[in-house]
């Protein structure tokens, strides 16, 4: 079992990070949609704290994955056609969104003037509390989240439509 990526295969670290992040993001899309319909109060404050904690954890895992890909570059795409070009663009956009969505949520939460707590730790407040900043960043957070959901659907559809072993590489490490 290889931990690092090979010239034609994904290693265990890349595959584990991919699937952990994927499942966490899908769960957070549902969880975020659920809590977005709530008004923050003492009775549900913990749900919002969990959402922030999981979001920051996903952000950290994405940063770890980017660092890992710098240390252990992923294999080249299989084949070169319009699907490969589209997949590359979707991947880049997803990475940007995986970093931007938690960031916008963090800034929006910090702008509320309420401490942002992540797994019991209080994060520093990067902005001056402001209703306008809070509203702007929560709106941006919502738009970026919807864009990410759409790109995730495109990513999954693309992976399922390919018949060249690409999906097999992300599941087993090797093209099947």
Query: Residue 152: inside a domain, yes or no?
Result: yes
Q: Which residues of the chain have pLDDT under 50?
A: none
Instruction: Give residue 57's pLDDT.
Output: 97
- Report helix, strand and coil shares of the chain as percent, to nearest 5: 70, 0, 30
The CA angle 173-85-148, to the nearest 5 degrees, is 80
Instruction: Give residue 1's pLDDT.
Output: 66
Instruction: Give residue 13's pLDDT.
Output: 97
Rounded distance between C-alpha atoms, residue 92 and residue 84, angstroms: 12
Instruction: Give residue 58's pLDDT.
Output: 98
pLDDT in tens, 127-161: 999 999 999 999 999 999 999 999 999 999 998 98
53: its two tokens: 């904690």
CATH of residue 25's domain is 1.20.950
Query: Residue 97: inside a domain, yes or no?
Result: yes
What domain range includes position 78? 12-172
Instruction: Give residue 16's pLDDT.
Output: 97
Query: Residue 6: inside a domain, yes or no?
Result: no
Sequence-distant (6+) residues with CB within 8 A of 2 are 9, 11, 12, 173
pTM of the model: 0.92
Query: Residue 150: inside a domain, yes or no?
Result: yes
Instruction: Give residue 47's pLDDT.
Output: 95
Count of the separate structural domains present in the chain: 1
Query: Residue 29: inside a domain, yes or no?
Result: yes
The secondary structure of residue 162, as a DSSP letter, is -
């Amino acid at each position: 079992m290889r931990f690092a990526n090979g010239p034609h295969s994904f290693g265990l670290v890349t595959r584990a990070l991919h699937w952990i992040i994927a499942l966490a993001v899908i769960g957070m899309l549902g969880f975020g949609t659920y809590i977005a319909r709530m008004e923050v109060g003492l009775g549900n404050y913990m749900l919002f704290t969990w959402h922030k904690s999981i979001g920051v954890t996903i952000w950290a895992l994405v940063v770890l994955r980017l660092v890992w890909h710098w240390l252990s570059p992923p294999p080249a795409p299989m084949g070169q056609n319009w699907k490969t070009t589209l997949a590359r663009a979707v991947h880049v956009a997803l990475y940007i969104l995986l970093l931007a969505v938690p960031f916008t949520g963090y800034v929006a939460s910090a702008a509320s003037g309420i401490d942002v707590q992540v797994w019991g730790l209080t994060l520093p407040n990067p902005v001056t509390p402001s209703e306008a900043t809070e509203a702007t960043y929560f709106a941006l957070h919502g738009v970026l989240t919807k864009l990410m959901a759409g790109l995730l659907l495109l990513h999954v559809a693309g992976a399922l439509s390919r018949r060249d072993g690409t999906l097999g590489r992300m599941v087993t490490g090797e093209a099947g």
